[in-house]
Amino acid sequence: MATLFDPLTLRDVTVRNRIWTSPMCQYSVLDESGIPQTWHLVHLGSFATGGSGLVITEATAVNAEGRISPRDTGIWTDEQRDAWKPIAAFIASQGAVPGMQLAHAGRKASSWPAWGYEDRTGSVPPSEGGWRTVAPSSVAFGDMDTPAELLPSGIDKIVDDFRSAARRAVDAGFEVLEVHAAHGYLLHQFLSPIANKRTDEYGGSLENRAQLLLRIVEAVRAEVGDGVPLFVRFSGSDWTPGGWDEQQTATVAGWAQDAGADFFDISSGGIQSGIRIPLEPGYQVPFAEHVRSSAEVEVSAVGLITTPEQAAEIVESGRADAVMLARELLRDPHFPLRAAHELGYEVDFWPPQYLRARWRR
Active-site residues: which are they?
185
Region at 179 (left for phi over 0; alpha for psi -120 to 50; beta for the rest): beta
**What beta strand segments (E) does the chain contain?**
8-10, 13-15, 19-21, 54-61, 97-103, 134-135, 148-149, 176-181, 230-235, 263-267, 298-302, 322-325
Q: Phi, psi at residue 123, to the nearest 5°?
A: -90, 150
Is the distance from CB of 190 to CB of 276 less than 8 angstroms? no
CA 164 to CA 308: how far, in whole Å? 38
At residue 200, what is the residue type? D
Region at 61 (left for phi over 0; alpha for psi -120 to 50; beta for the rest): beta
CA 210 to CA 207: how far, in whole Å? 5
**DSSP labels for 3-70?**
-TTS-EEETTEEES-SEEEPP------SSSS----HHHHHHHHHHHHTT-SEEEEEEEESSGGG-SST
Q: Cα 236 to the chain's mean position, in Å?
A: 13
Sign of CA dihedral 175, 37, 184, 327: positive
CA 210 to CA 46: how far, in whole Å? 36
Q: How many Cβ atoms sit within 10 Å of the Cβ of residue 279?
A: 9
